[in-house]
Chains A and B, each alone.
Chain A
């Protein structure tokens, strides 16, 4: 009789223990993938997105380019005087004239030529984020998009999904909405 009691007690304990273990696991297991989910907190954008140049409110389509270290803008009629870059946006996007201080020069090395390009600081609205970043200026009239957004601007808040485009319309509080 005593033996049976003991066995019963042991049995109850074990069941209790297993229930506790199960409870713990149920609690712990969902927490495990959290480390990876940090990427999930970033906003997913497509290979092309519309952005708004601030504070001018000019809308531009931008190529999202993880192959480019820095961002760059199609700057027409570009001149640099006293460390100020003067240029205009392409006609198609309103030819807005801009005058911005040059913060550095970037040496471009490609197979056959060397070039120095001025770099300015700009703010644009991508999704709900205002991004303040360095942008290289050069005449990009041969390429399709007036703005390339490179790794320097993507690092903190975005992941890129190439099966999509125009999936996160600019929606910053400071930016004029359409």
Chain B
């Protein structure tokens, strides 16, 4: 008798949660992020602040001491963010218009963790020592289901499942 009662109690207490959780997920199809977000570069687990930039067609990373060797590009992150050295295959070259004229930049593929989302995306490399954020996430990245609310900043700590 008591068993049945308890099951009734627990079902009645828990039922609303089960009813509402699917509804909430459905409403949150797109993740709202702020004008600046902390992300993690995978698999290296380097944490960087990123400017979320709907004015940039493609994402870009502040790459120092850039060297090209055949199909590979070697570079370092800014010292402020650990200065880790990378060696990655060049996926393509991109011509970008800058105030100083047309420039050619190597593009690599990176995996980025933002909130609980792991996203593989193309990022072009350039020395960005003049600007505030080492990583710019542009429209090619944001098209993966994000909307930007610049009133907010750092809305979610990077917390991706299956990061060993």
Q: Which residues of B contact A33 (CB under 8 A)?
A: 24, 27
When C-beta atoms are compared, the residue in chain B nearest to A145 turns out to be: B55
- Confirm or deny: A67 has a beta carbon within 8 angstroms of a beta carbon on chain B: yes
Query: Could you tell me if A151 and B35 are in contact, using CB atoms closer than 8 angstroms?
Result: yes
Whether A25 pairs with B13 at a CB distance below 8 angstroms is: yes
Interface-forming stretch among A58-66, A92-100, A119-127? Answer: A58-66
Interface contact A42-B53, CB-CB below 8 Å: no
Query: Of all chain A residues, which has the CB nearest B145?
Result: A163
User: Which residues from A are CB-within-8-Å of B8?
Assistant: 14-15, 18
Given contacts A65-B55, A66-B52, A162-B139, contact A151 B150 (CB under 8 A): yes
Tell me whether B56 is interfacial, beta carbon within 8 Å.
yes
User: Pick the contact of A18 from B12, B99, B100 — CB < 8 Å?
Assistant: B12
Chain B's interface size range is 35 or more
Q: How far is the CB of A139 from chain B (nearest CB, A)?
A: 12
Contact in complex: A155, B9 (CB < 8 Å): no
Q: Are A110 and B56 in contact (CB under 8 A)?
A: no
A47 to B24 Cα, complex, angstroms: 26
Task: Judge if A148 is at the interface, Cβ distance under 8 Å.
Answer: yes
Q: Which of B15, B16, B52, B98 has the most CB of A within 10 A?
A: B16
What's the minimum C-beta distance from B49 to chain A, rounded to whole angstroms? 14
B150, A155: Cβ atoms closer than 8 Å: yes
Kindly provide the distance from the CB of A138 to the nearest chain B CB, expressed in whole angstroms. 11
Q: Cβ of B136 < 8 Å from any Cβ of A?
A: yes
C-beta contact mask, A19-59 vs B, less than 8 Å → 1, else 0?
A: 10110011001100100100110101001000000000000
| A113 lies within 8 A of B99 (CB) | yes
Shortest Cβ distance from residue A128 to the other chain B in the assembled complex, whole angstroms: 18
Residue of A nearest to B127 (CB): A111
**B99 x A110 contact (CB < 8 A):** yes
Cα A113 to Cα B130 in complex, Å, equals 11
| Contact, CB under 8 Å: A161 / B55 | no
Q: In this assembly, does B97 line the interface, its C-beta being within 8 Å of a C-beta of chain A?
A: yes
Residues of A within 8 A of B149 (CB): 39, 42, 159-160
CB neighbours of A83 from chain B (8 A): none
A9 at the interface (CB under 8 A from B): no
Flag if B9 contacts A18 (CB, 8 Å): yes
Q: Which 8 A-B pairs have the closest CB atoms?
A: A65-B55, A67-B53, A25-B16, A162-B142, A22-B12, A18-B12, A67-B55, A160-B148
Question: Are the CB atoms of B100 and A112 closer together than 8 Å?
Answer: yes
Q: 10 pairs across A/B with beta carbons < 8 Å? A: A14-B5, A17-B9, A19-B12, A42-B149, A47-B54, A66-B54, A67-B53, A110-B130, A111-B99, A162-B146
Contact assessment for A39 and B148 in the assembled complex, using a CB-CB cutoff below 8 Å:
no
B147 close to A (CB within 8 Å):
yes
Whether B99 and A159, one on each chain, are in contact in the complex, defined by CB atoms closer than 8 angstroms, is: no
- Cross-chain contact of B13 among A7, A21, A39, A162 (Cβ < 8 A): A21
- Which residues of chain B come closer than 8 Å to A65, judged between CB atoms? 53-55
Which residues of B135-160 have CB atoms within 8 Å of chain A's CB atoms? 136, 139, 142-143, 146-152
Residues of A within 8 A of B54 (CB): 47, 64-67, 160, 162
Q: Check: B44 CB closer than 8 A to any chain A CB.
A: no
